[in-house]
């Protein structure tokens, strides 16, 4: 349902485009807020349903890598679809190509999410038929949700320590991902088409990284996989801070994509290792909450450094070194979680 609302709210943006001045700004922010809310809400049941649909819980670590891989490939398909739609005569000749493209993409998403909804609903029907569900008032459900989450964090100190580390490194990586277009234009001096290609390369490599994790690394010590990935990420940030060009730049972007796929897949798999089987759904719901709480401290640091009168080179070198240091802090916390008392 929330996925279908994504397409509906995207259509609202095309209506907002006809407004003027402050009203346009306010309505645009409101529409984006609704889109983001629907997206975040759709992720919680997505993560929560994983333990339900996996017949063999020992395969969850592998399945989550495959899911992450498909998600990254889906992003590549979205980028390619948008680029192809821009070439359509109806878009190219439009007085507002951006709005026309948005309308087409919204229609595609609405139909696609609708198909996915009925497909997933049919798949979960057999599971839900085997589960006794009592009708509980919404208010009590929300209160119980927060009570259960706090209880879970208190009872599982290793899980809590991992979530702290996860917020740190997710904050850093998602902040860089958010501001990457500006970096590519200002520091690497790429054009708009090259920026899109750079994103496409990274997304494609992220899918490859997630699938590689599912194929070869899902049975490794996942804490070590996360720590090694974070250390490699710190090295990637140092490389980006130096402003690489040519083959070196494209190699760094490809490596960053692979590391993203491996790290996100390993994080979900490690969560399965730490969480009690009886509370897997609750733990994956918490994972979604902590992931969505990221990108808070990172944007503040990014904005603060940006306000200081640095040269472009010094600004990005400072930012990426600071973020690399935060990733190492996250790696230390993850490593330290292994020495915590057993939950």
Output the DSSP codes for 279-296. Answer: GHHHHHHHHHHHHHT-SS
Q: Which two tokens stand for residue 65?
A: 């890598």
Count Cβ atoms below 10 Å from residue 115 Cβ, excluding itself.
10
Residue 246 has pLDDT above 90, yes or no: no
Residue 28 has pLDDT above 70, yes or no: yes
Q: Which two tokens stand for residue 243?
A: 């402003």
Distance CA 137, CA 258 (A): 44
- Angle formed at CA 41 by CA 39 and CA 47, multiple of 5 degrees: 100
Q: For 172-209, what is each residue's pLDDT tens digit?
A: 888 888 888 888 988 888 888 888 888 888 888 888 88
Helices (H), the chain: 2-16, 21-48, 50-53, 60-86, 89-92, 97-129, 138-155, 157-186, 192-212, 222-241, 246-274, 280-292, 297-307, 312-337
CA-nearest of 221, 261, 272, 260 to 67 is 261
Residue 133: its pLDDT value, please?
Answer: 47
Q: Which two tokens stand for residue 249?
A: 């730049």
Q: For 265-303, what is each residue's pLDDT tens digit?
A: 888 878 777 776 666 666 666 666 666 665 677 888 888
Of 149-158, 236-245, 300-309, least confident by mean pLDDT is 149-158
Three-state helix/strand/coil letters over 25-89: HHHHHHHHHHHHHHHHHHHHHHHHCHHHHCCCHHHHHHHHHHHHHHHHHHHHHHHHHHHHHHCCH
State the sign of the Cα–Cα–Cα–Cα dihedral 106, 107, 110, 113: negative
Tokens 């008032």 sit on residue: 137
List Cα–Cα distances, 332 to 316, 321, 341, in angstroms. 24, 17, 17
In contact, 194 and 319? CB cutoff 8 Å: no
CA-nearest of 69, 70, 75, 43 to 265 is 69
Percent of the chain residues past pLDDT 70, beyond the cut: 58
320 band by pLDDT with thresholds 50, 70 and 90: very high
């Amino acid at each position: 349902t929330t996925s279908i609302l994504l397409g509906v709210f995207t259509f609202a943006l095309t209506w907002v485009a006809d407004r003027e001045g402050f009203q346009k700004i306010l309505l645009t922010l409101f529409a984006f807020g609704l889109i983001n809310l629907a997206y975040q809400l759709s992720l919680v049941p997505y993560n929560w349903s994983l333990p339900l649909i996996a017949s063999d819980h020992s395969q969850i670590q592998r399945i989550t890598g495959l899911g992450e891989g498909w998600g990254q490939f889906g992003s590549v398909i979205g980028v390619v679809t948008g680029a192809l739609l821009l070439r359509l005569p109806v878009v190219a000749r439009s007085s507002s190509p951006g709005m026309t493209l948005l309308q087409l993409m919204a229609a595609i998403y609405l139909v696609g999410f609708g198909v996915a909804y009925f497909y997933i609903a049919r798949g979960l029907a057999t599971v839900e038929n085997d589960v006794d569900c009592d009708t509980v008032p919404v208010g009590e459900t929300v209160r119980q949700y927060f009570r259960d989450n706090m209880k879970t964090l208190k009872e599982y100190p290793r899980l809590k320590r991992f979530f702290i580390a996860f917020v740190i490194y997710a904050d850093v990586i998602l902040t860089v991902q958010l501001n990457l277009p500006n970096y590519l234009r200002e520091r690497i001096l790429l054009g708009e088409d090259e920026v899109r290609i750079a994103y496409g390369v990274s997304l494609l490599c992220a899918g490859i990284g997630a699938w590689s994790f599912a194929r070869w690394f899902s049975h490794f010590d996942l804490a070590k996989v996360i720590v090694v990935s974070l250390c490699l990420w710190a090295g990637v940030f140092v490389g980006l801070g130096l402003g690489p060009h040519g083959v070196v730049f494209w190699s760094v972007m490809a490596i960053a994509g692979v590391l993203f796929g491996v790290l996100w897949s390993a994080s979900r798999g490690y969560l399965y290792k730490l969480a009690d089987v009886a509370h897997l759904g609750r733990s994956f719901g918490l994972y979604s909450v902590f992931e969505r709480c990221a990108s808070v401290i990172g944007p503040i640091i990014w904005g603060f450094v940006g306000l200081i009168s640095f040269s472009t080179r010094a600004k990005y070198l400072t930012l990426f070194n600071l973020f690399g240091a935060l990733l190492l802090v996250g790696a230390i916390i993850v490593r330290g979680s292994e020495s915590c008392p057993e939950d």
